Structures are given as structure tokens and as C-alpha cells.
Amino acid sequence: MSIEKKLSILKAEINELLIKEGRLKDSVEILAVSKTKPIEMLQEAYRSGQRLFGENRVNEAELKAPQMPEDTIFHMVGHLQSNKVKKACSYFSCIESVDSLKIAKKINTCCIELNKVMDVYIDINIVNDQNKSGFLVTEQFYSDFEEMLKLTNINILGLMCIGAYVTDKDIIRNSFEDLKKLLKYLKGKYPTFNGDKLSMGMSGDYDIAISVGTTHVRIGSTIFGKR
């Protein structure tokens, strides 16, 4: 099946879910996660109208970005290493994987030099998985979050997570509900925080994320095939 066809089926499915939830059509952004996939596939998706792409390696985005039309938007979805921040700040429009205060400060410093403001999501390790990156929700997280809010050249759009990696749909749902509750709590606690986005839901669980109320899904294999 062509990428165009897969994208149109995916959009129709998402709209059907949104309508079922009483939400507006096309009110969920689709990030096409193109990591490891060849440039021809990204170009095909672009020709089908897709503009938002997700990559998890800075070096890969560096190779792909110049081969795509000007209005292509890349989001970083993988753990970012300190020594790659500078490049990341020039190739990505948004970094969804801010997982430490240290990396947020580095992004901020680079963006001051570049005279830009970087959109970011804060990556939350919502299932307390030791093998995953992302903030654990501890007292330290709240103080780090407060510090991040003060950084002038990052704009915190909202929170990102990877759902529980299990087959039990209720456990996955709970992890998404937890992220949604955390966003609400942060908005109440910090009046200067006006982020209202949730980046949750991947190929295997976007239906659950949509029913919980996500605003942004990150879909790879459903669009581009298995990696």
C-alpha cells in the first residue's frame, strides 16, 4: 500500500475516533515518525500533504532536512545528548524529548545565540520505567520544571510520554490519564505555564491516547512500515 493511502486511512480512522469522542475533526496533529526510513519515503509523505516529521537522531535529521522542501517541520523525539544540542537547535522546530533541566538550559543557551525560541515538550517517564528516559515525577521534577519555566528561549508546549509497554489496554490508558492529570496539575500550580498540549500515542496505542484526549500523536510504523 502506498504511503499516501496509509496516511489517508490513518487520518480517516483518527477522525472517526475524534467524532466518537465529541471532538473536532482534524484536532489531533499527526507527527510522522520517519526515523531510519529513506528520504524517498518522507518525500512521498510530503507529496501527500504531510508536513510534520519526527526523527530521533540529530545526525539523521541533519542529512534529511536539506533534502526536504522549505516548509517541512522536524520534531526531535529521541533522547538528546549534550554535544548534539547545537545542531538540534538548528534542524528541529520542536524538541519533544526534554528530559533534564541540564538539557533544557543547553537548548536555551543555544537558542539565545541563534536568536530563536524553541518549542519543547517535557518528556515524562510516566510509568517509572528504569530503562526509559524522561523525568520521574518526584519533588525534584517540580523544582526543575519551575526552573525550566524561567528559561526565556524555550517555550513549553506541554508534556510528552511513551505509554506503558504492555498489552493490557487499561494499564496503557492509565498511563495516558496520568500524563493528562499531571498537565492539569502543573497548569494549576504554575500560573505562568500555559502549555496545553499532550504528545502521546504511537502506532500501537494512538486510539487509546485519543480517547484520553491527546492533541498530538507520533506515528511511525503505521505510515512507513515496520522498522
Ligand X SMILES: *Cc1c(COP(=O)(O)O)cnc(C)c1O
Question: Is there binding between residue 33 and ligand X (CB under 6 A)?
Answer: yes
Q: One symbol per residue from 129 to 148: x for binding ligand X (CB under 6 A), - otherwise; what is it? A: --------------------
Please pick, from the candidates 48, 203, 211, 213, the single residue that binds ligand X as defined by CB under 6 A.
Answer: 203
CA distance 223 to 78: 19
Please pick, from the candidates 6, 57, 75, 218, the single residue that binds ligand X as defined by CB under 6 A.
Answer: 218
CA distance 158 to 75: 14
Q: Pick the closest to residue 218 from 13, 16, 17, 35 (CA basis).
A: 35
CA distance 169 to 101: 32
Q: Pick the closest to residue 136 from 146, 149, 122, 148 (CA basis).
A: 122
Q: Rounded to 5 degrees, what are φ and ψ at 162?
A: -105, 130
Residues contacting ligand X: total by CB under 6 A:
14
Contact 140, 101 (CB under 8 A): no
Amino acid symbol at 187:
K
Q: Return the range that interacts with ligand X (CB under 6 A); candidates 3-11, 16-24, 131-139, 219-227.
A: 219-227
CA distance 25 to 9: 14
95 vs 113, beta carbon nearer ligand X: 95
Please pick, from the candidates 133, 174, 193, 204, the single residue that binds ligand X as defined by CB under 6 A.
Answer: 204
Please pick, from the candidates 100, 109, 155, 221, the single residue that binds ligand X as defined by CB under 6 A.
Answer: 221
84, three cell numbers = 548534539
Question: At 8, which helix (H) or strand (E)?
Answer: helix 3-20
Question: Is there binding between residue 35 and ligand X (CB under 6 A)?
Answer: yes
Please pick, from the candidates 56, 72, 108, 214, the single residue that binds ligand X as defined by CB under 6 A.
Answer: 56
Q: Return the range that interacts with ligand X (CB under 6 A); candidates 86-94, 148-156, 184-192, 202-210.
A: 202-210
Please pick, from the candidates 154, 202, 208, 210, the single residue that binds ligand X as defined by CB under 6 A.
Answer: 202
Binding site for ligand X (CB under 6 A): 33, 35, 56, 77-78, 162, 202-204, 218-222
